[in-house]
Structure 1
Amino acid sequence: MAYLNASSGAAREGKQTAAVTDAAAATSTAAAGANPTKAEFDALRTDYLALRTKVNGLLAAMRTSGQLAP
């Protein structure tokens, strides 16, 4: 959909961001006790890193399409 660029009065076409797949399901579970085990911590860290990668990919796609400043 076009919109009016108020600073120059020129019509600009909006660009669509490239598709980014949904984040995978979480693999970590709630800690069994008061303190998480190393395996529980590592699973949570893995989920966090996967989500971080997904968000960075989405931001990169938005920059490429011009929706975010580089």
Structure 2
Amino acid sequence: MKALKPRFNREQRVNFLGGCGTIKTYQPESGTWLYLIEMEMGPEPDVGRIGNETRIFLPEADINY
């Protein structure tokens, strides 16, 4: 099954349930698109941060403008 043209672009700011962020990359997945989103970072927690903990993969249906 061929995926349609992606609805979102790299470096585009988007919203989703649980937050907002910026699209870093995307790839076709089962007739739709899967996006790697870097979430906006709030204040650093007392325990610090570890690597890419602020990046998540979401399917196109879970993302809004």
TM-score of the alignment, normalized to the shorter chain, above 0.5: no
Greater Rg over alpha carbons, structure: 1
TM-score band w.r.t. shorter chain = under 0.3
Which structure has more strand as a fraction of its residues?
2
Please, what TM-score do these two structures have when normalized by structure 1? 0.26
Which structure has more helix as a fraction of its residues?
1
Please, what TM-score do these two structures have when normalized by structure 2? 0.27
